[in-house]
Amino acid sequence: MNRFLLAAAFVAVATFGAHAQATRTWVSGVGDDVNPCSRTAPCKTFAGAISKTAAGGAINSLDQGAYGTVTMTKSMTLDGTGTLASILHSATSGIVINGAGVIAKVREIGILGGSPVSGGINGIRFVSGASLLVEDTRIEDQLNATAGNGINFEPTTAASLTIRNVQLNNASAGAGAAIRIKTNGQNVIVSLENVQVTGGVVGIMIDTTLGGLAKISIKDSTFANIAGPGIAAYSGNGDIRLYLDNVTSVNNNHGLVANGARTTAWLGSSTIAGNIIGIHRAGNSSVFSYKDNYIFNNTTEGTPLPASPTPVQGMPSGEIASAAGR
């Protein structure tokens, strides 16, 4: 009898463990976090489902709903494809990524902050991990009066960030930015493609004052109607390589700010227009042009450096081998 009971207990534990570490789980507005988070018995929140999802797994939403804030300490995909899944938060961060080697993916999630009094601090905050992918997502109203950020990327180790098909509306306030990149002495690679930033105080802020290298590629993206700079890059003890291709920065205080001798930007097929200052270079920074840009109708235009003999002037050997042929 004792052996039978022991075997039964082992099966029960094994069954519970299987539920706790499923490779795919689900959330629903009518779910319950005591459920195993299966498709037929979904959980109610992302936080409830994440403890029952194996590393490298995915949490899917079954219907429209607000699924609460969540901290990802293991590799995970949050996927709201087709359901208008959302995270509502105030005076905190909607999603936090904080775990060694974490590969995080956020897909088709609406992240909404609160009022100016208790607004969201970060839509997404990346503290530690290997990489973050944000795609087909909308981040709005990160209005914390001290520092509201749409995506706050401050890794403690070398990491990468990819933002694709994302809208950030009024996603910065105070000392924040819609997209904030701070290297903290680390090397980071950041890619933006089809990103639309409107309103707020800063579009994208790149900060390497504490060291490290930030390689930032921005393609087919728009920064508009921003109270401060649409694009800002500040180097100090670190280096910035900023590549802009078919980027529009319009109706902002500054279109592009490059500050610091270790800041180098290359500008091609882009429009800088309707700003108070179009391009502002300071601190011996360098902004090179492919000579196919539209810089006009700014109160003060500002001009990039001439691109002679090639648009890759000043680029470290081999950094972008393909650029010389453009």
Decide if 201 contacts 228 (C-beta within 8 A): yes
Decide if 257 contacts 284 (C-beta within 8 A): no
Of 2-6, 11-15, 17-21, 181-185, the one with minimum mean pLDDT is: 11-15
Question: Could you give the CA distance from residue 202 to residue 251 in angstroms, rounded to a whole number?
Answer: 12
Give the confidence band of 118 by pLDDT, cuts at 50, 70, 90: low
Question: Angle at Cα 168 formed by Cα 236 and Cα 71, nearest 5°?
Answer: 80
Percentage of the chain with pLDDT > 70?
86
Count CB-CB contacts under 10 A for residue 237: 13
What's the one-letter identity of residue 139? I
Short-list 37, 96, 34, CA closest to 62: 37
Domain-wise residue ranges, the chain = 53-325
| pLDDT for position 19 | 47
Question: 308-321, pLDDT tens digit by residue?
Answer: 445 555 555 445 43
Q: How does the average pLDDT of the chain come out, rounded?
A: 89
Question: 301-310, pLDDT tens digit by residue?
Answer: 997 876 544 5
